[in-house]
Amino acid sequence: QVQLVQSGGGVVQPGRSLRLSCAASGFTFSSYAMHWVRQAPGKGLEWVALISYDGINKYYADSVKGRFTFSRDNSKNTLYMQMNSLRAEDTAIYYCARAYRGNYRDAFDIWGQGTMVTVSS
Amino acid sequence: EIVLTQSPGTLSLSPGERATLSCRASQSVSRSYLAWYQQKPGQAPRLLIYGASNRATGIPDRFSGSGSGTDFTLTISRLEPEDFAVYYCQQYDSSPMYTFGQGTKLEIK
């Protein structure tokens, strides 16, 4: 079935790095733009980043620009989020999500299960 | 940036009642690029409605969306016990700057 399975995450000290992964299955991964969305504890949803179907175009929320790098390996059907210079305010559950019809102007129809990132000394 | 404001913050209703949730945008959302999501505790969000009024795959017909421009509504015609959750609206008009509303918590009265 169509699914996104996330891995990575954990507890990290401020200023350190972490990498998240998101493995896709059940659909033609290389045809879809993909997103990361995060949710701080007890808070709402915040869009983090978008990557085009081919990995060439990437867009980031101002809150993570210059620190996070979104990439994909279409041969492995996998997304990656490299998070550097982590801050306490990056503490959140991170979700990967699929653009419904693969386009930028689409809702997010398939979500990963989420992975917790805690930035704390 | 398009700011989405949801109301009410919390809605207390009983099973069988009708729920009406509102989402207001700070500027017009063109071509109704607006979605609604449901999120239950410990779960990822689930897409309910896209394009303001189109139900996503597998979503029961008691869920309906309406509106255009700056005012949008999610209606649940008759609440089932599993419908009590938090609901978010999202605009994807100003991509790649996507924004979500702050959420409406639908709780059992």
Mutation target vs B (from A34, A43, A46, A47; most B CBs, 10 A cutoff): A47
pLDDT, tens digit (0-9, with 9 covering 90-100), for A51-71: 999 999 999 999 999 999 999
Using the Cβ of A53 and the Cβ atoms of chain B, whether some distance falls under 8 Å is answered with no
Collapsing DSSP to helix, strand or coil, B94 comes out as: coil
Task: Note the pLDDT of residue B31.
Answer: 76
pLDDT of residue B96: 86
pLDDT in tens, A30-53: 999 999 999 999 999 999 999 999
Supply angle C-alpha A35, A41, A44, rounded to 5.
55
Chain A from 1 to 30: CB within 8 A of any B CB: none
Q: Which of residues 43-82 of B touch A (CB under 8 A)?
A: 44-47, 50-51, 56-57
With CA atoms as reference, report the closest residue to B88 among B54, B33, B45.
B45
Tell me the nearest-neighbour CA distance from A121 into chain B, angstroms.
25
Q: Quote the minimal CA–CA distance from B88 to chain A in Å.
A: 8
| Cβ pair B98:A105 closer than 8 A | no
Q: Write out pLDDT tens, residues A79-95.
A: 999 999 999 999 999 99
pLDDT of residue B30: 85
Asked if residue A12 has pLDDT above 80, the reply is yes
What is the nearest CA distance from A58 to chain B, expressed in angstroms?
9
Mean pLDDT of chain A: 97
Instruction: State residue A60's pLDDT score.
Output: 97
Q: What is the pLDDT along chain B (109 residues), one digit of tens a residue?
A: 999 999 999 999 999 999 999 999 999 998 789 999 999 999 999 999 999 999 999 999 999 999 999 999 999 999 999 999 999 999 999 888 899 999 999 999 9
Question: CA geometry: angle at A105 spanning B75 and A33, to 5°?
Answer: 120
Structure tokens at B22: 């509102």
Nearest-angstrom CA–CA distance, A94 and A103: 21
